[in-house]
């Protein structure tokens, strides 16, 4: 839910600072907030710890950049649907349970039903960027799990967001322009950073310490149905019978993935963990 409200705040902020301004502000403010709150202990870290956090940060920056490239060229619905191919493919590749491919297929069917009317005449470059975002999302999940295993609390995520923020600046300067927000937009910037980055990434890292990546990947498919229901409740946007069916398919898939996941996996001790 936090991501959906964060996206709504970002939609209000984009006309004021531009798409790339939102990217830089979102990652930079998120990193500063998390560093201030967590005050990570960075002494005595092994090289593998820094590598894990650094790779997670670069992946976050690249994933968000590809997503923005995609939504500049095609509607949000099909962009998110194509992007979800990444975590769902990860479920098929990493799962050892026979039921998980079924849940992934159900979730995929539901997501595509939600966006089916928008899949005509898509820009090929937009599709390519959305598929790149899908691959990066799939890479982000095990990287987040690895970083969470190597660092206490949210220390690793703090470092990763700092790396992502630093990498976003040259990307944004090369491919777009950055407009500083007006003083009255500070609250909106904080809302975007907190709801779109800090809350979801922190929640995901914590969740990945307790559940298998295959189950987590299926749960990510809840995003489009949640957005549709939020549009119904907050904006009064109606849902068709097919969209209700699509939402039901995704909910059943996520419930099935959780119920058949077995015991939560224990956090594995990693050399250099503190």
Chain centroid, CA 180 distance in Å: 25
Q: Match 């095990």 to its residue by tokens.
A: 142
CB 42 within 8 A of CB 266: no
pLDDT in tens, 34-50: 888 888 877 888 899 99
Give the ranges where the chain is alpha helix by DSSP (H): 2-17, 19-38, 47-71, 76-83, 85-94, 100-115, 124-150, 155-175, 186-193, 199-208, 213-219, 223-235, 241-259
Q: Is 47 exposed, middle or buried (0-12, 13-18, 19+ CB in 10 A)?
A: exposed
Give the C-alpha separation, 59 to 49, whole Å. Answer: 16
pLDDT confidence of residue 269? 41
Write down the pLDDT at residue 181: 77
Model's pTM, two decimal places?
Answer: 0.76
CA distance 93 to 168: 30
Predicted local confidence at residue 61, as pLDDT? 92
How far is the C-alpha of 274 from the C-alpha of 269, rounded, in Å?
10
Tokens of 202: 């922190």
**The predicted structure's pLDDT at residue 264:** 43
Domain boundaries, the chain: 2-259
Give the DSSP letter of residue 185: G
Helix (H/G/I), strand (E/B), else coil: 270: coil
For each of the chain's 274 residues, which pLDDT tens digit applies? 566 566 666 767 777 888 788 888 888 988 998 888 888 877 888 899 999 999 999 999 999 889 888 878 887 777 777 887 888 788 777 777 777 778 778 877 877 777 676 667 778 898 899 899 989 988 998 999 899 888 888 889 999 999 999 999 888 888 777 777 777 778 888 888 887 778 878 887 888 777 777 677 777 767 666 666 665 665 565 667 777 787 777 777 777 776 676 544 444 444 444 3
197 and 190 Cβ atoms separated by less than 8 Å: no
């Amino acid at each position: 839910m936090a991501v959906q409200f964060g996206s709504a705040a970002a939609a209000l902020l984009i006309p004021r600072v531009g798409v790339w301004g939102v990217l830089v502000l979102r990652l930079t403010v998120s990193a500063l907030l998390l560093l201030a709150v967590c005050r990570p202990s960075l002494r005595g870290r092994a090289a593998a710890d820094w590598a894990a956090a650094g790779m997670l940060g670069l992946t976050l920056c690249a994933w968000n950049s590809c997503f923005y490239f995609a939504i500049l060229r095609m509607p949000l619905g099909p962009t998110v649907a194509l992007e979800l191919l990444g975590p769902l493919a990860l479920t098929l590749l990493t799962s050892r349970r026979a039921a998980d491919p079924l849940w992934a297929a159900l979730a995929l069917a539901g997501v595509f039903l939600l966006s089916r009317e928008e899949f005509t005449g898509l820009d090929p470059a937009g599709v390519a960027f959305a598929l790149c975002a899908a691959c990066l999302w799939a890479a982000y999940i095990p990287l987040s799990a690895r970083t969470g295993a190597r660092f206490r609390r949210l220390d690793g995520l703090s470092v990763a967001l700092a790396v992502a923020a630093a990498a976003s600046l040259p990307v944004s300067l090369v491919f777009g322009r950055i407009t500083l927000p007006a003083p009255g937009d500070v609250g909106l910037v904080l809302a975007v950073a907190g709801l779109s980055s800090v809350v979801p990434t922190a929640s995901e890292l914590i969740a990945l310490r307790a559940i298998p990546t295959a189950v987590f990947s299926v749960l990510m498919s809840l995003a489009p149905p949640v957005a549709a229901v939020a549009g119904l409740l907050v904006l009064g946007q109606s849902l068709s019978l097919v969209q209700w069916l699509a939402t039901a398919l995704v909910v059943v898939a996520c419930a099935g993935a959780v119920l058949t996941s077995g015991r939560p996996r224990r956090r594995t001790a990693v050399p250099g963990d503190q």
